[in-house]
Amino acid sequence: MNPNYPGSTQGQMPPTGYGAPGMNPGQMRPPGPGPMNNPGYGAPPKPGPGQYGMPPASNGPQYPNMGPPGNVPGKPPVSMHNNMAPGLPPQARPSPMMPPSSSSQISNGMNAMHISQPRGPAPNQPNIGSPGQPRMGPPSGLPPTSQMGGMPRQPTNNMGGPMSGPPTNQFGGPPTSQYGGAPPTSQYGGVPPTSQYGGAPPTSQYGGAPPTSQYGGAPPTSQYGGAPSTTHTGGMSGPMPRQGMPPPTSSSTGMPPQSRPGFPPAPSTGAHQSPPSGMTMTDRYGQGPPSGPPSGPSMMSPSGPGSFPPPPGPGNFPQGNQAGPGQFPPQPGQTPPGQFPPQPGQAPPGQMPPQPGQPRYPGGTMPGQSFPPNYPGGQPMSGPGGMQQPAGPKKLDPDQMPSPIQVIDDDRANRSGNFQTTKGAVPPLVTTDFVVQDQGNCNPRFMRSTLYNVPCTSDMLKSCHIPFALSISPFAKLPEEEYNPPIVNLGETGPVRCKRCKAYMNPNMMFIDGGRRFQCVFCGAATDVPAEYFAHLDHTGRRIDTYDRPELCLGSYEFVATKDYCKNGALPNAPAFIFMIDVSYNSIKSGLVHLICERLKEDILVNLPKEVGQEESEVRVGFVTYAKEIHFYNVKGNLAQPQMLVVSDLNDVFVPLLDGFLVKLSESEAVIDSLLSQIPEMFAESRETETVLGPVIQAGLDALKSADRSGKLYIFHTSLPIAEAPGKLKNRDDRKLLGTEKEKTILTPQNNFYTKLGQDCVGVGCSVDLFLFPNAYVDVATISEVCRLTGGNLYKYSYFQADLDGERFLEDLKYNVMNQSAFDAILRVRASTGIRAVDFLGNFYMSNTTDVEMAAVDREQSMNVEIKHDDKLNEADGAFIQVAVLYTSVGGQRRLRIHNLALNCCTQMADLFRNTELDTLINYMAKHAVRTSLNSNPKQVREGIMSQVAQILACYRKNCSTPAPMGQLILPESMKLLPLYSNCVVKSDALQGGSEISTDDRSFLMLKLNSMDVSSTQVFFYPRLIPMHDLESHGDRIPAAIRCSVERLRDNGVYLLENGLSMFLWIGHNVEPQWVQKVFSVQSAAQIDIDKCKLNDLDNPVSQKLRDAINSIRGERCRYMKLTIVRQRDKLEPWFNHFLVEDKGNNGSASYVDFLRHIYGEIRNLLS
């Protein structure tokens, strides 16, 4: 801790954690990628003599006003400038200071910045997150200290969130084309759409040679849907040509587009349009799509840029109109190379005409094109006329790598609006605003699958290495446009169920024998229909009351449970909330006790949850204070003053009163007011520094058990429980162990006391929410067991001070109390014949292998279930999942909530990859890695993730993609962000915390991640970075996000970064003084008080829009994110940079580029 840290008071460290000063996990929006549309497929021709790495055509839909594909004049590039082949040098790129060109880059009002590779040969294998290099933490006093805390701590590793979403077919534009050759003899459908990041050859000779003729001769055929313009919709722009270079060429050879008749458009889902399956575009080199297997994948050229015809001699290219190896002679009607002046917009002889949307590269090298394997990159090349090419390695252009920003924007553009939950339909991304129309499958906000086309056999599932898993959020919050599942009351008979497997009635059940029986879709058994439930069938075999009964036509609904579903055969009572306040010296001194007592009644208790339609809440409340003794309070409504009863024997805790302890707020309001006003006075002189915790939880548990109620304990605790009592803990903190093989010794509980206590709590429906306010180590790994097992939450406010952190704490508590929850819940997953649930991940307790038990479930709580085969599936039947949750509502009613999901089955790998949901896969992989990290070392966890990613992509390349040179990395369209997202997981502080992050913060993040839903992990792993310096030009909209890299930041800009737990406002040192004056009322950025976590309420449009934007973003998250102000070149900037996940981490963790190259090497090893 650095007492001199700017903004620290009394030696306070900068706010920590998960967001520097305090952080708050964010409220999530529902997840969902969209179905992949099939672009045209076609395999590239095999390389001719001396012709290396001819790139296959990329598949991708064309959208109006989108830039054309790369490598085609007038079309934006789709190829990716990559340098992954071990031993090959990085590729050249334009100077980062050059203006942006019109490529498929998102326009954010910022100059296009490019990630450059270090000079020298590319390493064979980058350092992927391993702690081999010395960790370079931010300067002392710079990182915030605890996750949710307001005090500074050492910076953690990378907190980034993957961007979700079904990738768009083309990375940044319409499909690219293939060069050379005639139109294909046959087209293949059925391969998942993929874009290729290896492009066509350049239009002229390498390095100053006069332009050769076009490779091929036929005029280009038209793009599907018309020739695209050079401008992207949505304000997308790309890097501008380098200074001194000719402007990009315009359209393709000036020939009129010709459409290819006879090809029906590919089926699409919703508004997501793609070119017809099987249609490929020819490029300006005149080649039609080649015949052969479908080309699908995104192709990146790890070997290097530029899939050029190789030189006839070392460094020499053919001159004039000679057709060298790998080149095609000019076709009739085409200009012989080097004889006629270039067309308007083309480069003059001696220069390579850049493709529109591609930056100019020295020597004519274009980013993203496949480079011949074993090409002697980095050596000087001489072209005709003796012009020397610059020596040295080329650099990579990150704009040519798959961008999460573009994937998200494309999904929003194409899949916003209504989404119908038909069988096997892949939902939109979680970042897309859509309204669900329930068609018999549940809302994707409730349940998502990694696969929407399930392999028919276990061998196929194993060979693809993609886990079949579900992310389940049974009580997810729905937008205003959608309705909560309807409640069905069937009276004393209760829900209709299958007699064999006990599955509940759902839209997939088939009625037979004139409606007298139904056949179960899960087990096939026929069950008699109860007489009171009988209805006739229509001519299609459906019941005539199908649309009158939610359970027959909707994917989600609720049943009112009968006494048979209740403990001891008795209907439950309404739940209770018990507020348990630490009144030790630290709690009094920080202002915590005074703040709670002052605001609890007016801000918190008035927001107790209630049933829809009820005027007041049925929830009971009780109050306890403690330090080394436990104080119960009688607040019965007929008392004049509250009564305090003290329990000092902590080895045998009991509840000294029943009547008057748990009361209804409306009946005891005056007595509660009196109690809350007296507590700060009673303990104002407290000098007790030691606290207990175990007996406090035990007392709350006993109180709920005695009252025969489920409920929640809200415990406000400040220090490690070291007082002599059950649950006493010792200080075992050793931050140096983090990142080593011994880290699991401090990340697992030091004893099983709190684990057993948590299990006891689950038994009576008692959930525990811990609000921690530590100034030192409190052993979160041990005490959080009660939260993990009971489905509770943990909040952490390090170095809490009421004036600085009070608002954040109160907002979190208010949201928690209002967040309508289910209590005393049991969840079971049923699957159709041939598959079964085998593994469960999340914060809950399982006393057997099938029932998931949670004392409480809130709207953000999520869990993952892995499904495996136990028999072969029938492709025609599909696969069915049913999730049933038995719970007690906030009004005390016992109910069953049912969610149904129907999936398709497949026998082809192409169908499987086309219908994969990446965000759900990342969510599952991250949670699985958290559990693995408690039983193995960090290196094994990282290597396990990287190995799985490589195996998935190798399987795709082997089974689905067009044959292509090994110098290209091929990514399936639905998973082209898998390398980026998996690298974010590997770099995450939850998995790779080193000595920069505190032990408690690491444990906090692991617990939080374990219950995150898909929308939360999306932003957690790949944070949202938003330019805020030009808000006035965006009206009421929040500006579009940009990629998380330091090269995207301008020193005269202002940027907001948030990941659901942390929020930073980065201010460039050259920001306009007028902006600073309007927002902070000071003259320059150097005068800004960075201790503040709240912006001044100034009466001008700039200040108002900035505050509105911040409040809007906070409203999207479930935890209140404290704002940390970071000035450029200030001590906190390294901590801010820690969240720019595309860059190399301070601890040596790999950048996006390095990780891609490493994965490429792994794939080559697997395929060789």
pLDDT tens, residue by residue, 1015-1037: 999 999 999 999 999 888 888 88
Please list, in sequence order, all residues whose beta carbon lies within 8 angstroms of the beta carbon of residue 1101, skipping any fewer than 6 positions away.
1032
Span 362-378, pLDDT tens digits: 333 233 333 333 333 33
pLDDT confidence of residue 395:
59
Of the candidate ranges 97-101, 628-632, 962-966, 1028-1032, the one whose mean pLDDT is the lowest: 97-101
pLDDT confidence of residue 394:
52
Question: Tokens 């009158």 label which residue?
Answer: 548
Residue 397 pLDDT exceeds 80: no
Q: Report, as an integer, the average pLDDT of 1139-1158.
A: 92
Give, in order, the Cα–Cα distances in Å from 196 to each of 37, 598, 674, 964, 1156. 15, 61, 70, 11, 15
Compute the distance between CA of residue 813 and CA of residue 811 in angstroms, rounded to an integer.
5
Give the number of C-alpha atoms closer than 13 A to the C-alpha of residue 1053, restricted to the C-beta side: 19
Residue 217 pLDDT exceeds 50: no
Q: What's the token pair of residue 860?
A: 């953000």
pLDDT confidence of residue 398:
79
pLDDT confidence of residue 1091:
83
Split at pLDDT 50, 70, 90, the class of 50 is very low
Q: What's the token pair of residue 14?
A: 């900068």
Report whether 172 contacts 67 (CB < 8 A).
yes
More confident residue, 235 or 666: 666
Coil vs helix vs strand at 841: strand
* Bridge-based pairing state of the strands 434-437 and 417-420: parallel
Report whether 772 contacts 127 (CB < 8 A).
no
pLDDT confidence of residue 747:
94
DSSP state of 742: T
- 602 φ, ψ (degrees, to nearest 5): -75, -25
Compute the distance between CA of residue 1085 and CA of residue 447 in angstroms, rounded to an integer.
46
Compute the distance between CA of residue 191 and CA of residue 172 in angstroms, rounded to an integer.
20
pLDDT confidence of residue 613:
85
For 593-648, the DSSP string reads: HHHHHHHIIIIIGGG----TT-SS---EEEEEEESSSEEEEE--TT-SS-EEEEE-
Report whether 476 contacts 861 (CB < 8 A).
no
Residue 358 pLDDT exceeds 80: no
The 10 Å Cβ neighbour count of residue 1101 is 11
pLDDT confidence of residue 376:
31
Q: What's the token pair of residue 806?
A: 């009070």
Residue 438 pLDDT exceeds 60: yes
- pTM (predicted TM-score): 0.71
Compute the distance between CA of residue 721 and CA of residue 727 in angstroms, rounded to an integer.
7
The candidate with the shortest Cα–Cα distance to 450, out of 818, 896, 1141, 922, is 922
Compute the distance between CA of residue 290 and CA of residue 292 in angstroms, rounded to an integer.
6
The region, left, alpha or beta by phi > 0 then psi within -120 to 50, assigned to residue 756 is alpha
Report whether 1062 contacts 988 (CB < 8 A).
no
pLDDT confidence of residue 303:
40
Please list, in sequence order, all residues whose beta carbon lies within 8 angstroms of the beta carbon of residue 479, skipping any fewer than 6 positions away.
433, 435
Compute the distance between CA of residue 94 and CA of residue 113 in angstroms, rounded to an integer.
10
Q: What is the largest CA-CA distance in the chain?
A: 105
More confident residue, 245 or 665: 665
Residue 893 pLDDT exceeds 90: yes
Compute the distance between CA of residue 713 and CA of residue 816 in angstroms, rounded to an integer.
12
Residue 670 pLDDT exceeds 90: yes
Q: What's the token pair of residue 510?
A: 């088939």
Compute the distance between CA of residue 859 and CA of residue 816 in angstroms, rounded to an integer.
10
DSSP E strand boundaries for 878-998? 879-888, 894-906, 969-971
Q: Report, as an integer, the average pLDDT of 1080-1087.
A: 91
Work out the mean pLDDT of the chain and round it to a whole number: 76
For residue 716, list its beta bridge partners: 581, 771
Residue 931 pLDDT exceeds 60: yes
For residue 645, list its beta bridge partners: 632
Highest averaged pLDDT of the listed ranges 261-275, 727-741, 772-786, 1143-1157: 772-786
Span 314-356, pLDDT tens digits: 333 333 334 343 344 444 444 344 444 444 444 443 444 333 3
pLDDT confidence of residue 1096:
86
Give the number of C-alpha atoms closer than 13 A to the C-alpha of residue 584, restricted to the C-beta side: 21
Q: Report, as an integer, the average pLDDT of 637-653.
A: 95
More confident residue, 447 or 45: 447
The 10 Å Cβ neighbour count of residue 224 is 24
Sheet holding 447-449, edge to edge: 447-449, 469-472, 863-869, 835-841
Compute the distance between CA of residue 776 and CA of residue 823 in angstroms, rounded to an integer.
33
At 602, the amino acid letter reads E
Is 512 buried (19+), middle (13-18) or exposed (0-12) by CB count in 10 A?
A: middle
The 10 Å Cβ neighbour count of residue 910 is 24
More confident residue, 627 or 69: 627
The 10 Å Cβ neighbour count of residue 644 is 16
The candidate with the shortest Cα–Cα distance to 109, out of 1070, 1140, 1038, 1048, is 1048
pLDDT confidence of residue 512:
96
Please list, in sequence order, all residues whose beta carbon lies within 8 angstroms of the beta carbon of residue 9, skipping any fewer than 6 positions away.
801, 1091
* Bridge-based pairing state of the strands 447-449 and 469-472: antiparallel
Report whether 152 contacts 248 (CB < 8 A).
no
Give, in order, the Cα–Cα distances in Å from 758 to each of 126, 492, 727, 788, 855. 43, 34, 12, 8, 10
Split at pLDDT 50, 70, 90, the class of 300 is low
Radius of gyration of the chain (CA): 31
DSSP state of 990: H
Q: What's the token pair of residue 337?
A: 């190379």
Split at pLDDT 50, 70, 90, the class of 257 is very low
Span 1110-1135, pLDDT tens digits: 999 999 999 999 999 999 999 999 99
Q: Report, as an integer, the average pLDDT of 855-878.
A: 96
Of the candidate ranges 258-262, 763-767, 1051-1055, 1098-1102, the one whose mean pLDDT is the lowest: 258-262
Of the candidate ranges 223-237, 631-645, 662-676, 1034-1048, the one whose mean pLDDT is the lowest: 223-237
pLDDT confidence of residue 1168:
85
pLDDT confidence of residue 725:
96
Q: Report, as an integer, the average pLDDT of 756-769.
A: 98
The 10 Å Cβ neighbour count of residue 663 is 21
The 10 Å Cβ neighbour count of residue 344 is 9
Q: Report, as an integer, the average pLDDT of 82-89.
A: 40
Q: Report, as an integer, the average pLDDT of 971-1000.
A: 91
Give, in order, the Cα–Cα distances in Å from 1104 to each of 1035, 1070, 1092, 1110. 12, 22, 17, 10
Please give the angle made by the CA atoms of 633, 634 and 639, to the nearest 5 degrees.
135
The 10 Å Cβ neighbour count of residue 846 is 13
Q: What is the dihedral of CA 460, 466, 469, 471, to 10 degrees?
A: -150
DSSP E strand boundaries for 907-997? 969-971
At 677, the amino acid letter reads S
Q: Report, as an integer, the average pLDDT of 228-234.
A: 37
Question: Tokens 């649930």 label which residue?
Answer: 837
Coil vs helix vs strand at 586: helix
Q: What's the token pair of residue 362?
A: 């020295």
Compute the distance between CA of residue 284 and CA of residue 1025 in angstroms, rounded to an integer.
37
Q: What's the token pair of residue 830?
A: 């049923």
Coil vs helix vs strand at 681: helix
pLDDT confidence of residue 606:
94
Give the number of C-alpha atoms closer than 13 A to the C-alpha of residue 316, restricted to the C-beta side: 11
For 1113-1167, the DSSP string reads: HHHTSSSPPPEEEEETTSTTHHHHHTT-TTSPPTTSPPPHHHHHHHHHHHHHHHH
The sign of the dihedral angle between the CA atoms of 653, 657, 659, 660 is negative
Residue 209 pLDDT exceeds 70: no
Highest averaged pLDDT of the listed ranges 161-170, 359-368, 777-786, 1079-1088: 777-786
Report whether 56 contacts 1040 (CB < 8 A).
no
Percentage of the chain lying above the pLDDT 70 cut = 66
For 396-460, the DSSP string reads: --GGGS--HHHHHHHHHHHH-EEEE--TTPPPPPTTS-EEEE-SSS--TTTEEESBSEEESSHHH
Coil vs helix vs strand at 884: strand
Q: Report, as an integer, the average pLDDT of 556-585.
A: 95
Of the candidate ranges 66-70, 504-508, 834-838, the one whose mean pLDDT is the lowest: 66-70
The candidate with the shortest Cα–Cα distance to 1136, out of 1149, 1147, 1121, 1125, is 1125
Report whether 406 contacts 400 (CB < 8 A).
no
Split at pLDDT 50, 70, 90, the class of 299 is low
Percentage of the chain lying above the pLDDT 90 cut = 60
Structural element, H or E, at residue 448: strand 447-449
